[in-house]
Amino acid sequence: MALALLSHVVADLTLGKPALPWLPATASVRDALAALKHLADDVTEISIWDCSPDKSFSSDLAASCALTSNSGQPSPCGLSSSHHSCLCIGKICMQNILCYLASEKCLCNLHDALDASVSTLLPRSSDKCPVQHIDPDASLLEVLDLLVGGVQNLVVPITRRASFKSRHGKPGMALKTRNPTLSTKFCLPKDHDGQEYCWLTHEDVLRFLLGSISVFSPLPMMSIEALGLLRADVRMVGVDQGASSIVEQIEEACCNLSAVAIVEASEDILGAVHLVGDISCSTLQACNETAALALNALSAGDFLVFSQDCGDPPQVLVDTIRTRVLEKLSDAEKQSHLLASKKEETNPLLQKLEMWEDSSSEDDESGADSPIGPHDLSRKWHAPHFRSSRKGFTLKSRSGPIFCNPKSSLIAVLLQALAHREHYVWVTEEDDVLIGIVTFKDILAVMLSHINVFN
């Protein structure tokens, strides 16, 4: 049975996967923001492609995005000779944009920040390429090696059945938008000269391996503590610390498919902290660009409340954001010797903050005249649930942080994470005392070590 599992190739894992929507590296941050807000409900990230003849945007990333074929000969990033004119060099989600816009440099010159190339949001270091092309005939072991090695998304050419057109329409059809009135403005291509591609992720591979879980016996029934899966090096921040101080941590956590824990000190156990909530890519995916102001101005605890109720935040937080951002913009103007002006007129995000109450009670079109576009995402994700902190404020999110205990079995933790579509599970003891985290990457590493025995 183990040999049968090892005989599978990438194409077996990508059956039925949807085609990737994409933007060229020459697109602006504004384009990426508009696309993320208005595309179909299940789209949370957009692939970025370099189609320039000299690959000017991906010169530092090309080597890390390339993959050697099964024959041992260099393959042009997993693409056939007829379809290697474009190269996927990364991906963009709402977290990337919010962390970028939250910097004071961007807030002071928002128009230029939004007009910048979307490639500025991508990592420049060749060892941080989160995506990599791979051939459909590559083995399952190659996939595991890449994902355990740090790759987040594998880019796979899609081979359609002959009946595809009759079922789904022509290849290259535009990705459906959430608002029909905006479809002509926010349609994204899904093919490259007729060739479509799809993602292959940690979640896809683990769901596939779940069908042959008995091969990994006795690992599934062993505790995460016994398997050494418990990571104690958790990124965390106190509820009262400034959210702007953890922007880098948020970026690092998302690069590692993890999260930043929001904690408060235990009153009963010296040195212990209680898990209040977390900030991750999934936490921020339902936010709009106004959350960048909150990230710059609020404490970590207040930002958590804001982000988990981004469609209708407490008015006290909106007032706090306005006051603090105006103060920072005023200080920046004095340092730059700029002429005094009304700050709301110089920053479109503050304009959106001013019209929040009016626009939140009307249709999506109510924000169409905003400098950045409509921002209502309240219907994009399911209704939230509540989770209380020891300090009394209530956190509302669509799923909340998920957690287990050190004695939980590997299979229990895996099923819990897959059910919530998360890449990590927090590990707590009694009374929500945080002691660590378990990630998909570490689970795959343990399974790869086990399966290598049969190789």
| Domain termination residue (choose one: 201, 229, 260) | 201
Which comes out higher in pLDDT, residue 57 or 289?
289
Are 148 and 237 part of one and the same domain? no
Domain that holds residue 40: 2-201
Are 33 and 147 part of one and the same domain? yes
Domain-embedded: residue 408: yes
CA distance 143 to 121: 26
Domain-embedded: residue 57: yes
Token reading at 435: 């002691």
Average the pLDDT over 336-353 and give the result: 56
Domain-embedded: residue 392: yes
Are 41 and 132 part of one and the same domain? yes
Are 263 and 136 part of one and the same domain? no
Are 114 and 231 part of one and the same domain? no
Which residues make beta-bridge pairs with 132?
154
Please provide the DSSP assignment of 22-82 as one string. EEETTSBHHHHHHHHHHB-TT--EEEEEE--TT-TTSTTTHHHH-EE-TTSSEESTT--TT
CA distance 33 to 118: 10
Are 79 and 218 part of one and the same domain? no
Are 108 and 195 part of one and the same domain? yes
Domain-embedded: residue 16: yes
Which residues make beta-bridge pairs with 155?
133, 199
CA distance 125 to 83: 25
Q: The domain spanning residue 394 has which CATH number?
A: 3.10.580.10
Q: Quote the pLDDT of residue 432.
A: 84
Domain-embedded: residue 451: yes
CA distance 218 to 220: 6
Is the CA virtual torsion 279, 284, 287, 291 positive or negative?
positive
Which comes out higher in pLDDT, residue 67 or 40?
40
CA distance 305 to 240: 12
Q: 360 pLDDT exceeds 60?
A: no
When mean pLDDT is compared across 25-34, 233-242, 338-347, the lowest value belongs to: 338-347
Helix (H, G, I), strand (E, B) or coil at 410: helix
pLDDT digit string, tens, across residues 408-424: 999 999 999 999 999 99
User: Into how many domains does the chain fold?
Assistant: 2
109: Cβ contacts below 8 Å, ≥ 6 apart: none
Count the neighbouring beta carbons within 10 Å of the beta carbon of residue 64: 21
**Pair 197, 182: CB distance under 8 Å:** no
φ and ψ at residue 57, rounded to 5 degrees: -85, -20
Domain-embedded: residue 357: no
CA torsion angle 425 210 445 414 (round to 10): 10
Are 187 and 273 part of one and the same domain? no
Count the neighbouring beta carbons within 10 Å of the beta carbon of residue 303: 26
Smallest CA-to-CA distance from 393 within 307, 301, 309 is with: 301
pLDDT digit string, tens, across residues 109-133: 888 999 999 999 987 765 566 899 9
Q: 154 pLDDT exceeds 80?
A: yes
CA distance 229 to 446: 8
pLDDT digit string, tens, across residues 378-436: 323 333 333 444 444 434 444 579 999 999 999 999 999 999 999 999 999 988 899 99
Domain-embedded: residue 174: yes
pLDDT digit string, tens, across residues 168-213: 444 444 444 444 333 434 566 666 667 899 999 999 999 999 999 9
pTM assigned to the model = 0.80
Are 189 and 81 part of one and the same domain? yes
Are 161 and 34 part of one and the same domain? yes
Q: Quote the pLDDT of residue 129.
A: 62
Looking at residue 3, what DSSP letter applies? H
Helix (H, G, I), strand (E, B) or coil at 107: helix
Are 183 and 270 part of one and the same domain? no
pLDDT digit string, tens, across residues 296-333: 999 999 999 998 888 788 889 999 999 998 888 887 66
Q: Quote the pLDDT of residue 84.
A: 54
How much of the chain exceeds pLDDT 70, in percent? 68
